[in-house]
Structure 1
Amino acid sequence: MTTAPHLALLGDATSVHVQRWAREMRARGWRVSLITARPQAIESVHQIVLPPVRRQTDWLWRVGAARRAVAALAPDIVHAHYVTSYGYLAARCGRQPLVMTAWGSDLLLTPRQNPLIARLTAWTLGRARLVTGDSRDLLDAARRLRPGVRTELIHWGVERARFAPQPWADKPGFEAVSLRSWETNYRIDVILRAFAQVVSERPGARLHLLGGGSEEGRLRALVNDLSLQNSVHFHGRLDDVGMAAVLARCKLSISVPESDATSVSVLESMACGLPVIASDLPANRDWLGAGALVPAGDVAALARVWKALIDDEALARQWGDHNAERIARDGDRRVQMDAVDSMYRRLLAEARGRAP
Structure 2
Amino acid sequence: MKKRKVLFLGESYRADAITWMKGLKEFGDFEICTWELQTPITSKLNRFKRILEYVFSPISIRKTIKNEKPDMIIAERTTSYGFLAAISGLHPIAIAQQGRTDLWPEGSILLPFKKIIQKYAFKKADLIHAWGPVMTISMKAIGVDMNKVLVIPKGIDLNLFSPSINNSTKIEAIVTRSLQPEYRHDSILLAFSILNQRGIDFSLTIVGDGTRLHYLKDLAKKLQIENKIIFTGRIPNTELPKLLQQSNIYISMPITEGVSASLFEAMACCSYPIVSDIPGNQSWIKHRDNGQLITIDDNEQLADELIWSFENTESRNQAIFQNRKFVEENVNYDINMKIISDKYHELLKVRQT
Counterpart of 1:244, as a letter, is P
The more displaced of 20-29 and 185-194 is 20-29
Partner of 1:231: 228
* Moved beyond 4 Å, runs of 4+: 51-54
Q: 1: CA distance between counterparts of 2:135 and 2:49?
A: 26
In the TM superposition, residue 195 of structure 1 has moved relative to its aligned partner by 1.1
- Per the alignment, do residues 15 and 52 of structure 1 end up closer, same or farther by CA in structure 2, a change over 3 Å counting? farther
Q: How far apart are 1:20 and its partner, in Å?
A: 2.1
The alignment of Structure 1 onto Structure 2 pairs a total of residues equal to: 340
Question: Residues 258-298 of structure 1, C-alpha deviation per residue, up to 9 Å, x if partnerless?
Answer: 00011010000000012101111222112111231111222
Distance 1:111 1:284 in 2: 19
Other structure's SS at 1:185 match: helix
CA contact (8 A) 2:188 2:299 kept: yes
In structure 2, what is the Cα distance between the partners aligned to 1:66 and 1:53? 20
Counterpart-to-counterpart distance in 2, 1:323 and 1:275: 9
The 1:136–1:53 alpha-carbon spacing in structure 2 relative to 1, beyond 3 Å, is: farther
User: Contact between 2:294 and 2:301, CA under 8 Å: does it hold in 1?
Assistant: yes
8 Å Cα contact 1:37-1:53 kept in structure 2: no
Query: Residues 87-124 of structure 1, C-alpha deviation per residue, up to 9 Å, x if partnerless?
Result: 12111212110000111166252576332221122122
1:10 match? 9
Alignment-derived partner of residue 48 in structure 1: none
State TM-score, norm by structure 1.
0.89
Aligned counterpart, 2:43 = none
* Greater mean alpha carbon deviation, residues 95-104 or residues 202-211: 202-211
Alpha carbons of structure 1 residues 52 and 92: separation in structure 2 relative to 1, 3 Å: farther
Q: Partner amino acid for 1:348?
A: L
Asked whether the 8 Å contact 1:108–1:141 carries over to 2, the reply is: no
The change in CA–CA distance for 1:112 and 1:143 in structure 2 (over 3 A counts) is farther
2:175 pairs with one of 178, 198, 201: 178
Question: Match for residue 270 of structure 2?
Answer: 273
Q: Alpha-carbon deviations, 1:326-346, whole Å to 9, x = none? A: 111111111110111111011
Partner of 1:151: 149
CA distance in 1, matches of 2:38, 2:318: 42
User: Aligned pair 1:254/2:226, yes or no?
Assistant: no
Alpha-carbon separation, structure 2, partners of 1:255 and 1:145: 29
Greater Cα shift, 235-244 or 267-276? 235-244
Structure 1 gaps of 5+ residues are: 40-50
Judge conservation of contact 1:172–1:249 (CA < 8 Å) in 2: no
- Alignment partner, residue 98 of structure 1: 93
Matched, 1:78 2:73: yes
Name the residue aligned to 1:349: 349
Q: Percent identity?
A: 21
> 1:53–1:132: structure 2 CA closer, same or farther, 3 Å change rule?
farther
Unaligned ranges ≥5, structure 2: 40-45
Residues of 2 paired with 1:99 and 1:52: CA distance? 27
Query: Is the 2:156–2:333 Cα contact (8 Å) retained in structure 1?
Result: yes
Partner Cα separation in structure 2 for residue 74 and residue 53 of structure 1:
31
The CA deviation at 1:52 is 10
Deviation string 1:181-240 (CA, Å, 9 cap, x unpaired) is: 100111111111111112222432111101211111111111111111111110122223
Measure, in 1, the Cα distance between the counterparts of 2:348 and 2:224: 58
Aligned partners of 2:79 and 2:103 also within 8 Å: no
Following superposition of structure 1 onto structure 2, how do residues 46-85 of structure 1 map, counting pairs within 5 Å?
Answer: 55-56=50-51, 58-85=53-80
Question: 1:5 is matched by which residue type in structure 2?
Answer: R
* Partner Cα separation in structure 2 for residue 116 and residue 33 of structure 1: 29
Cα RMSD (Å) of the superposition? Answer: 2.2
Q: 1:308: how far off?
A: 0.7
Q: For residues 343 and 26 of structure 2, what CA distance do their matches in structure 1 show?
A: 16
Q: Is the 8 A contact 2:165 2:270 kept in 1?
A: no
In structure 1, what is the Cα distance between the partners aligned to 2:337 and 2:299?
37
User: Is residue 2:123 matched to residue 1:132?
Assistant: no
- CA distance in structure 2 between the aligned counterparts of 1:343 and 1:111, rounded to whole angstroms: 33
